[in-house]
Amino acid sequence: MNIRLLNKGENPPMDLLLLADPSRNMVEEYVKRGECYTAESDNQVIGVYVLLPTRPETVELVNVAVAEHYQGRGIGKQLVIHAVQTAKEKGYRTIEVGTGNSSIGQLALYQKCGFRITGVDIDFFIRHYQEEIFENGIQCRDMIRLSQDL
């Protein structure tokens, strides 16, 4: 597997990005402002993440997605580790990530990769998404914010 920065003019893998964030408008907005990285295997895009600069010396990991057929193989963890390393190499001091309160697997993954919970944005998904989101039998309402010092 190879992870690389998308070239200018290259279309991001929207199908994968929409797996992690169902709002096409939000995805298109942050892909424009951030850097999109893809994981590829046998000339096929199997994973993606986006790094979005937010404040001086701070970057946010805004979307981590792995093609459904490749899930459960540690690719998500490799993407998160790559994102942390990339942020460090680019001189950022802090990397942040946010995920839904119902995203149990993602919450575990981020903490295994060194992120700590720093806050909760109450009703984020109610305010910013028109359709209700359910995962693991739980309504996704709140954004759990995590960060890691680099």
Domain 2-149 has what CATH class?
alpha beta
Tens digit of pLDDT for each residue in 102-114?
Answer: 999 999 999 999 9
Reading phi first (left if > 0) and then psi (alpha if -120 to 50, else beta), residue 16 is in alpha
Confidence grade of residue 9 (pLDDT, cut at 50, 70, 90): confident
- Kindly list the domain boundaries of the chain, sorted by start residue: 2-149
Compute, in degrees rounded to 10, the torsion defined by CA atoms 76, 114, 88, 75: -10
Confidence grade of residue 49 (pLDDT, cut at 50, 70, 90): very high
Number of C-alpha atoms within 13 angstroms, CB side, residue 95? 24
User: Residue 22: its pLDDT value, please?
Assistant: 84
Q: List the Cα angle 6/97/99 in 5-degree steps.
A: 110
Confidence grade of residue 56 (pLDDT, cut at 50, 70, 90): very high
- Contact of 29 with 60, CB cutoff 8 Å: no
Dist. CA 9–CA 36, nearest whole Å: 12
CA 92 from centre of chain: 17
